[in-house]
Structure 1
Amino acid sequence: MTTLANTAQHPLVRVLYRSGLLAEDLDYHAVRAAMVIMFFFFGYQKWFPYEFERLVPFISNGPLIWWLYPVFGHAGASYFLGVSEWTFGSLLLAGFWDKRLGVLGALGSTGTFIATVTIIPFMPEGWDVAAGGFPAMTGNVPFLMKDVVLLAVSFYLLRQDVVRLMRQ
């Protein structure tokens, strides 16, 4: 039977501990940094014509974002999403220092990924009929599935920031 004392004596555990990988909050900070980087890069894409057309199947089939085209047009919808992504990424970045801003960024991030995850059931030809349909993904659905994880990450950051704000 392995005890905590025996585990702490294990050379690999000692190396990991000394490296800082087991430091408290490292996972929280790494997840926050990853989301900031992701929002920066995805927001950057939204300023170019190739992305205007790439977004068509997503926005057109999004039950929560379909209205972007009638209101802004193709380029304007892409710009709107780019500004939103940079705003939420900036708020998440500011959340390293101010948890109130982190909460706002995590709320925006959560809303973003609720909007994208809800596209999945409405995406035409999203399930490979030849392979039996659901859950055999095809077309744009595999790209959207990453947003399920990003939604969970957004909820994690939101919870962490609210808890940390309450402790202050």
Structure 2
Amino acid sequence: MGTGHSYADGLASVGFSVLRCALATNILWIGALKFKPYEVENDEPLVTSSPLFSRLRARLGAEKLNRLIGVTEIALGSLIVAKPFAPRASAIGSFGATGMFVTTLSFLATTPEARQEGQGILSLSQLGQFLLKDTVLLGAALLTAAESLRAATLLTGPRAR
């Protein structure tokens, strides 16, 4: 009975490690791509139709806005992967990623190009399908935040009230 439990714990530990590395890799890689001209062009339909990002784009321009997003993503990905050394910082990175994915999921509602024209609201275009994967990344960010908070508590113990 105890052996099955330890296998499950080991599997969960490996799964969390893979999840954390995959989440950080996705965020870091996509963040680095924000400095490429084609990525600025790819992001245009998203940022111009978003109430928040369209204002930022008007102030900064498309290229600077993408660079700001890229720097933010690189910072968040770096924090997430820092869990063995700085679990609290990693939790902050995961919570930041949570906010980022909630924001990108809002593009499903604000970007007309996210849906197949004339096919109804539930018929996602290729862009919409690309955005939908952020639901999985959102879940990963929440799980890595929880895991990082657990690790930080283990290192420091419960705080005095």
TM over 0.5: yes
Q: TM-score, normalised by structure 1?
A: 0.80
Matches within 5 A, 1:153-164: 153-164=140-151
Deviation at 1:138, TM superposition (A): 1.5
More helix by share: 2
**Structure 2 CA distance, aligned partners of 1:137 and 1:64?**
22
Deviation at 1:21, TM superposition (A): 9.7
- Gaps (5+ residues) in structure 2? 156-161
Whether 2:110 is the aligned partner of 1:118: answer no
Deviation at 1:43, TM superposition (A): 1.0
- State which structure, 1 or 2, has the greater radius of gyration over its C-alpha atoms: 1
Moved more, 43-52 or 61-70: 61-70
Matches within 5 A, 1:1-168: 22-131=10-119, 133-168=120-155
The residue identity in structure 2 corresponding to 1:97 is: F
- Indicate the RMSD between aligned Cα atoms, in angstroms: 2.3
The residue identity in structure 1 corresponding to 2:139 is: A
Q: Pick closer, same or farther for the CA change 1:27–1:55 going to 2, 3 Å.
A: same
Deviation at 1:136, TM superposition (A): 1.4
**Relative contact order (C-alpha < 8 Å, sep 6+): which is higher?**
2
Deviation at 1:89, TM superposition (A): 0.7
The residue identity in structure 2 corresponding to 1:67 is: R
Q: CA offsets, 1:73-131, max 9 Å, x none? A: 11100100110111001111112322111111101111111110111111114333544
Q: Secondary structure at the match of 1:117?
A: helix
Q: Pick closer, same or farther for the CA change 1:23–1:89 going to 2, 3 Å.
A: same
The residue identity in structure 2 corresponding to 1:124 is: P
**Structure 2 CA distance, aligned partners of 1:129 and 1:57?**
15
Q: Secondary structure at the match of 1:95?
A: coil
Q: CA offsets, 1:10-59, max 9 Å, x none? A: xxxxxxx5xx9944511111111001211121011111111111110111
Deviation at 1:159, TM superposition (A): 1.6
Give percent identity, aligned residues only.
Answer: 25
